[in-house]
Chains A and B, each alone.
Chain A
Amino acid sequence: MGYEPQADFGTPASTSEKLVTLTIDGRSVTVPEGTSVMRAAAECGGDIPKLCATDSVKSFGSCRLCLVEVDGMRGTPASCTTPVMDGMTVHTQTPRLQKLRKGVMELYISDHPLDCLTCSDNGDCELQDNAAAVGLRDVRYGYNGDNHLGLEKDTSNPYFDFDPSKCIVCSRCVRACDEVQGTFALTIDGRGFGSKVSAGLATDDFLSSECVSCGACVQACPTATLQEKAMVEIGKPERAVVTTCAYCGVGCTFRAEMRGEQLVRMVPWKDGKANRGHSCVKGRFAWGYANHQDRITQPMIRKNVDDPWQVVSWDEAISYAASELKRIKAQHGARALGGITSSRCTNEETFLVQKLIRAGFGANNVDTCARVCHSPTGYGLKTTFGTSAGTQDFDSVMDSDVILIIGANPTDGHPVFASRMKRRLRQGAKLIVIDPRRTDMVKSPHIEAQHHLALQPGTNVAVLTAMAHVIVTEGLADEAFIRERCDWDEYQDWAAFVSQERNSPETLEPVTRVPAEELRGAARLFATGGNGAIYYGLGVTEHSQGSSTVMAIANLAMVTGNIGRRGVGVNPLRGQNNVQGACDMGSFPHELSGYRHISDVETRKLFEADWGVTLDSEPGLRIPNMLDAALDGSFRAIYIQGEDILQSDPNTHHVAAGLKAMECVIVQDLFLNETANYAHIFLPGSTFLEKDGTFTNAERRIQPVRKVMEPANGYADWEVTQLLANALDLGWTYTHPSQILDEIARLTPSFAGVSWPRLEREGSLQWPVKDETHEGSPIMHVDGFVRGKGKFVVTDYVPTDEKTGPRFPLLLTTGRILSQYNVGAQTRRTGNTAWHPEDLLEIHPTDAENRGLKDGDWVKLSSRTGETTLRATITERVAPGVVYTTFHHPATQANVVTTEYSDWATNCPEYKVTAVQITPSNGPTDWQEDYNSWSERSRRIVANLTAEAAE
C-alpha cells in the first residue's frame, strides 16, 4: 500500500437496519437510517468539505464548511448534522455553496499561519486540502487583525507537540478525548474569539494534565496543531503497512507508516475489529525500543556466566548451542532439556519452539508465560465450559447492562478496551468492581461504580461464593437456563453448598472485609440487571486459588444465565499480545496445540505422523518445576525465547539459583535482559515490525502481523528456531510463516479454516474456525457449551498459607501501570519513562503515618522471601493494611519479595498476596547492590569492554 490516509466519512456509521434511499448530486444512494447527509455523500464517492467533522466522533456542526442545499428545505443546512430522509435530493456543489464555503474558509485562513511549505503537516493537512477544495485564492481581510499567531508551543509530551497558533478550535481533539478515549482531559477554555484548547487547568501542560497520551486527539486534529514529534523530525511517510500491535492482549490494528525502512508513526486502523480505530500510549507511540541502541543484533556465547560475552557468527552460535544440547541429552536424557515459548512472538514462532522441544529435544518440558498469568483461566474455563478461552468479542460489551470487573485494571492494563467499556458505562450500563484498590474504573469522569467491593487480597473465592449465596438463596437463579444448558444434579450440589450459612456475606464479612449489605446489593444487581458480563484479570488468577476463582466466575455466569449471547459472558483480559495464541499453540507441557492432552494416543499419532518422530507421552515440567528440577540436577538445558523469567517470575533468588544450576541457558531476545545474565548463549531476537505471522488476542481473534522492515539481526525469530532445529538434524524447510500456519491448521481443529490468504482477505478470524467456509466464532457457547452441559464446580474457600503476622503485618499486591508494559524491557527504552521512571510503593496514609513515612520517602519492602527498596507514594487508592507496587523496573526487582506459593491446579504464582513489612530506608538493599554489580559484570562483551551495559 502507498501512503493514503484512511477514508474519513465525516460522521460515525449508523447501525440501523432500516435503509433509506436519497439522491446526492444526481446519484442515488441507499444508506441506513440515521446516517448523515455528509456520510451518505462520502459513501457514494462524494467529498463534502469539512473541518469539525471526523467519523470517530459525533457530529458537531460548528465549522459551517459542510453546508449543502436540499430540495424543499430552507437555507443551507450542515450536512454533518442533517440526517438522510427517504426521497431527499441533495446538492453538495453549487455556486451558492461555493461562495459560502469560500467565505468561511477565508475567515479561518485569516487567523492561520501561512507557513504551509515548512509546516510538518504539509501535504497531510485537512485545512490545506479544504482551502484547495473551496478554491480559496485570496483573503480579503488581510492578516493584521486580531489573531492567535505566535503562541507558545507545548512540547511537554514526549511524543507529540501542541501548537495553539495552528488551532482552528474545531474541538475535534476535545471530543475525541471525551467520546473515544473517555478521559475528559481536554476542554475549550474561554469563549468566542478567545476560545482555545486547554489540557487540564490553566497551569497545566499536556504532560502534567490528566492526558493519557492515547493519541486520539492527535489522530482527530485536522491541522498541525497536535502533531507527532516524529512527523516533525522525519517528514511525511511514503508507504503504510497494516499490522497488529505487539503490546497487550487487546491486539490493536495499526498502520505502520514508513519512510523507507524508517518507521514514522503508528496510526490506529479504523477497520481493526479489536480497537476500532483507537490506540493507547504504548501501541501508538512507544515503539522506539525497536531500534534502541541497547538492541543486540549479533549472537554471543560464553562458557560460564562469569565470563564476558563473546560475539560470534550465527553459524558458530547455533553449532555451539546444538552441540551443548546434544551433549546434555546424551549424558542426562531428553527430559533434562526444555524451553519456554514467548507470548510476545507470533503463533507460528511459538508453535515452532514447542515443536522443537517436543520433536527435537525429545521432551515435553515446554511452558510459556501464561504459567504466571492466565494458566488458571485455561484450567477453569476448560473445566466448566469446555474451552480454554474467553467467551465474547470486544464489541459485545456495547450490549452489556451490568459489567462486573474483578481483579483487573483495564484503564492501565487494557486501555483501548477500557475506553469501549467506559463508553458503554456512559450510555448507562451499571458497574460492579471487585478489587482491593480503588482503580480508575471505580470513579473517573462520568464513570462511577454502583458497587466497589474492596476486598481483602486473597479472598476472591469467598466473595464470589457469597454472591452466589445471595443469588441462590434469594431465588434469583436463572433456573430455566440452568436446566436447559447445565448439569442439573451438579447445579443442585453446588446450590446446596453456596446456600450454607457459612457462605453468607454476613458470615464471611470478617474474612473478606466487604460489608455484607454492599455485597448483597452487587449480587442482586448482577442477577437482575439485564445482560451481565464479567471481565477479569490477573487479580483473579495470580492467587493460590486462581483456578477456583475462575470456576467461581463461570458458576456466577451460569447461575444468572449470562452465557451464549451478546452482552454477557466470561472475559479474561489476557496480558501479553499473544498469550492466548501461545496457549493455543501447545505451549503447555501437558498438551499439544488446541488443548489436547499429550497422553491422548490419537492426538499424539496425528503429530507423530506429521512430524515423523515419536513423542514422549508423559507431561513435562512447568516453569517453576523446571527451576526446582535444575536444583536437583535433573534439568540442565533451557531455550528461552522472548521471556525474562528472572524479572517476571516470583522469588527472584530461587529463579536465579535455578538458572545458575543449569549447564546451558539459551536466551533469544531483543536485549540482554535480566535472564541473560545467567545465559551461556545469546541469540538476537527480532521485533514484531521485522516479521510476518499472526497474533491471537484476548477475544480469540487471529490477526496478521506484517513485516515492515528487515530484521536488524538478519533473521526473524522463527528463522532462528529453524536454524537451531536444523542443527539438531530436524530438516525443517519453512520459507514463510504461512507454511507454519498451514501446519497449525492441519493439526489443530480450532484453526482448521485459518490460512494466510484468508487472513489477508478477511483481516482477522476468531477461533474456532472449523473449515474454510466457517466464518469463525465471535461468541462462544451459543447453542450449548463446548463440553456439552455447563459444569458447576464447588469452590470451597481455602485461605492462602501466606499469612500476615507481627513481623509482616501488611499485604502486598502487585500490578501494572498504563505507560509501562510487563518487565518494561520495551517501554523502559521509550519516552514512556516520562510517566513512570521507577516503581513506587502505594501505601495508605494511616500505615504511612504509623511508620513515620512521607510521600516520596525511600522505604524497605521486606517479606519472608527477600527485601528491596523503592520510594513510597501515599494514597487512599489502597486500603489500610494493603500496599501495592508494579514490577516494571529491574532496579526494584519487586519479585525479590514475592513468594513461591502458587495456584493449586496450575502453579500460577501468588503474586497478588505477599505478607510484608515497610520500614524507612536510606539506601538500596544488599541484594540490589549485589545484583547491580553482578548484572554489570555479566553484561560485559569482549568485543567492546567499555560500552557493554544494556540497561
Chain B
Amino acid sequence: MEASRLIYMANQIARNFAPMGVEQAALATADHIKMYWDPRMIAGIRAADAAELTPVAAHAIRLVDGPVPHMTRATEFAGAHADGAAHNDAG
C-alpha cells in the first residue's frame, strides 16, 4: 500500500496520543496499530522510510513487533473485566 498514506496515518495517530508523553504515546500508537491495522498495512509501514515518521510514530513502529500493553480500553478484550462484566461486552 502507498507508503505516504500509511505514514500520514501513523503520524496522525501519534499526534493525537501526544499529550500522554513520548513513551506512553508510542506505546498507545503501537497498540492502536496492532489492534486496527491489517497485516499488509503494518508490513507496508515497516518497509517505508522511517525518516518521514514523527519520533513518536517511528518509536511506535519499532514496538509493534513485540508485546504491547493495551493502552486504551477500546481495544481491550471483552473477557478482561474483573468486575463481573466479563464475557458481556455490553454490560
Q: How far is the CB of A788 from chain B (nearest CB, A)?
A: 5
Instruction: Report the count of interface residues on B (CB-CB < 8 A).
Output: 36
Any B CB within 8 A of the CB of A890: no
Interface positions, chain B 70-91, Cβ under 8 Å from A, are: 72-79, 81-83, 85, 87-91
Q: Which of B38-46, B47-55, B59-67 contacts A (4 or more CB under 8 A)?
A: B38-46
Contact yes or no, A544 B12, CB < 8 A: yes
C-alpha spacing A603/B86, complex, angstroms: 12
A750 contacts which chain B residues (CB < 8 A)? 88-91
Interface positions, chain B 1-54, Cβ under 8 Å from A, are: 1-2, 5, 9, 12-13, 15-16, 18-20, 32, 35-41
B16 contacts which chain A residues (CB < 8 A)? 545, 548, 796, 798, 904-905
Contact yes or no, A597 B77, CB < 8 A: yes
Q: How far is the CB of B28 from chain A (nearest CB, A)?
A: 11
Query: What are 17 residue pairs bridging A and B, where the CB atoms are less than 8 Å apart in the complex?
Result: A383-B72, A386-B85, A594-B78, A596-B77, A596-B89, A597-B35, A629-B1, A632-B1, A749-B90, A750-B91, A768-B88, A770-B88, A780-B91, A787-B85, A788-B85, A798-B16, A904-B15
C-alpha spacing A128/B36, complex, angstroms: 64
C-alpha spacing A781/B83, complex, angstroms: 13
Of the residues B15, B35, B73, contact of A787 by C-beta under 8 Å: B73
B20 contacts which chain A residues (CB < 8 A)? 794
Q: Is the interface of A mostly helix, strand, loop or mixed?
A: loop
A619 contacts which chain B residues (CB < 8 A)? 35-38
B2 contacts which chain A residues (CB < 8 A)? 628, 631-632
- How would residues 761 to 790 of chain A score, 1 for a CB under 8 Å from any chain B CB and 0 otherwise? 000000110100000010011001011100
C-alpha spacing A619/B85, complex, angstroms: 24
Contact yes or no, B38 A589, CB < 8 A: yes
Q: B residues near A, CB below 8 A?
A: 1-2, 5, 9, 12-13, 15-16, 18-20, 32, 35-41, 72-79, 81-83, 85, 87-91
Contact yes or no, B79 A603, CB < 8 A: yes
Q: Decide yes or no: A628 and B88 within 8 Å by CB, A497-B19, A791-B73 being known contacts.
A: no
- How would residues 374 to 395 of chain A score, 1 for a CB under 8 Å from any chain B CB and 0 otherwise? 0000111011001101000000
Contact yes or no, A788 B83, CB < 8 A: yes
By beta carbon, the residue of chain A nearest B86 is A749
C-alpha spacing A250/B7, complex, angstroms: 39
For the complex of A and B, 10 pairs with smallest distance between CB atoms:
A750-B90, A768-B90, A383-B74, A749-B88, A382-B74, A600-B77, A904-B12, A596-B78, A794-B19, A594-B89
B35 contacts which chain A residues (CB < 8 A)? 590, 597, 599, 619
Contact yes or no, B77 A603, CB < 8 A: yes
Contact yes or no, A387 B89, CB < 8 A: yes
B39 contacts which chain A residues (CB < 8 A)? 335, 618
C-alpha spacing A387/B91, complex, angstroms: 8
Interface positions, chain A 651-692, Cβ under 8 Å from B, are: none
C-alpha spacing A798/B87, complex, angstroms: 36
Contact yes or no, B19 A749, CB < 8 A: no
Contact yes or no, A602 B79, CB < 8 A: yes
Of the residues B1, B40, B78, B88, contact of A600 by C-beta under 8 Å: B78
Contact yes or no, A594 B41, CB < 8 A: no
B75 contacts which chain A residues (CB < 8 A)? 597
Contact yes or no, A749 B87, CB < 8 A: yes
Contact yes or no, A335 B79, CB < 8 A: no
Any B CB within 8 A of the CB of A595: yes
Contact yes or no, A383 B40, CB < 8 A: no
B87 contacts which chain A residues (CB < 8 A)? 749
By beta carbon, the residue of chain A nearest B70 is A597
By beta carbon, the residue of chain A nearest B16 is A904
A379 contacts which chain B residues (CB < 8 A)? 74
A544 contacts which chain B residues (CB < 8 A)? 12
C-alpha spacing A750/B87, complex, angstroms: 9
- How would residues 740 to 753 of chain A score, 1 for a CB under 8 Å from any chain B CB and 0 otherwise? 00000000011000
Any B CB within 8 A of the CB of A155: no
C-alpha spacing A907/B88, complex, angstroms: 27
Of the residues A625, A631, A786, contact of B91 by C-beta under 8 Å: A786
Contact yes or no, A788 B81, CB < 8 A: yes
A650 contacts which chain B residues (CB < 8 A)? none
C-alpha spacing A214/B79, complex, angstroms: 45
By beta carbon, the residue of chain B nearest A628 is B1
B74 contacts which chain A residues (CB < 8 A)? 378-380, 382-383
Contact yes or no, B38 A365, CB < 8 A: yes
A387 contacts which chain B residues (CB < 8 A)? 89-91
